Amino acid sequence: MPATYNQCLLYNQLVMPYLDAWMWQKELQTQRVKNPDLNDVLILLEHPPVYTLGKGASSEFIKFDLNESSHEVHRIERGGEITYHCPGQLVGYPILNLARHNQDLHWYLRQLEEVLIRVLAVYKLQGKRIPSLTGVWLEDRKVAAIGIKVSRWITMHGFSLNVCPDMKGFERIVPCGISDKSVASLAEWIPGITCGEVKHHIARCFGEVFDLELIEQSLSGIHQS
């Protein structure tokens, strides 16, 4: 087994248009389907305001006319319902070869939750899981969403953590199709928190949970916004 199997390439991007990140993920996944020996990857970034719908998402959770949206709307191949991304929300896209980790999608979802629960613990916040639902909650309010797509055990899409976003965009949808629980951001518990500081904690906790050494990569020439 090549020594690089315990290494993960880390791309810390600032803000990237959703379509650029989507294309980038698909390229990385396709490359690893063809050549499973390539390194795992973790992309951390923020998006301009955008709504995304999972492949089976229902229109009943959308409170606006899709043809007259002031923000981009994209139906994508991940699981789950509609969600919202915007600056101040950290998005993580792991491109992992689960054949090196555990070929079990439920295990993978729980591991992503564990990364985020550990990040919250850094701030002495107790993130929780809710049985039968995917994501992480603080005081019964959802602060992190997860939606994935896996092809031949290579992952794409991933998780989002509300750090300090403008939450108004969530008012126009039923986030993740969960009508009886509201969404929240970490800034409500930790005023002044920034995505910049949280990124470092996500990278460290991700490495711990997946037993990977993260190697930060240069962004020069790579899908810069």
Taking residues 125-143, what's their average pLDDT? 94
Report whether pLDDT(211) > 90.
yes
pLDDT band of residue 56 (cuts 50, 70, 90) is: confident
Q: What is the mean pLDDT of the chain?
A: 89
Taking residues 141-152, what's their average pLDDT? 95
- Going by the DSSP 8-state scheme, the letter that residue 174 receives in this structure is -
Q: What is the pTM of this model?
A: 0.92
70-93 residue pLDDT tens: 778 878 888 777 889 999 999 999
Percent of the chain with pLDDT over 90: 72
Cβ neighbors of 30 (< 8 A, separation 6 or more) are none
**Whether 142 contacts 130, CB under 8 Å:** no
Percent of the chain with pLDDT over 70: 90
Q: What are the CA-CA distances from residue 168 to residues 50, 85, 116, 185, 207 (Å)?
A: 12, 11, 23, 12, 33
Cα separation, 176 vs 141, in Å, equals 13
Report whether pLDDT(180) > 70.
no
Report whether pLDDT(1) > 60.
no
Cα separation, 157 vs 139, in Å, equals 26
Report whether pLDDT(198) > 90.
yes
Taking residues 159-171, what's their average pLDDT? 94
Residues designated as active site: 176
Angle at 144 between CA 140 and CA 150, to 5 degrees: 130
Report whether pLDDT(3) > 60.
no
- Domain borders along the chain are 10-213
Cα separation, 46 vs 37, in Å, equals 28
In this prediction, residue 178 carries a pLDDT of 60
Domain 10-213 has CATH 3.40.250.10: no
In this prediction, residue 33 carries a pLDDT of 97
φ, ψ at 70 (rounded to 5°):
-80, -10
In this prediction, residue 2 carries a pLDDT of 47
Report whether pLDDT(207) > 80.
yes
Taking residues 3-23, what's their average pLDDT? 89
Strands 50-53 and 213-216 turn out to be unpaired
In this prediction, residue 177 carries a pLDDT of 62
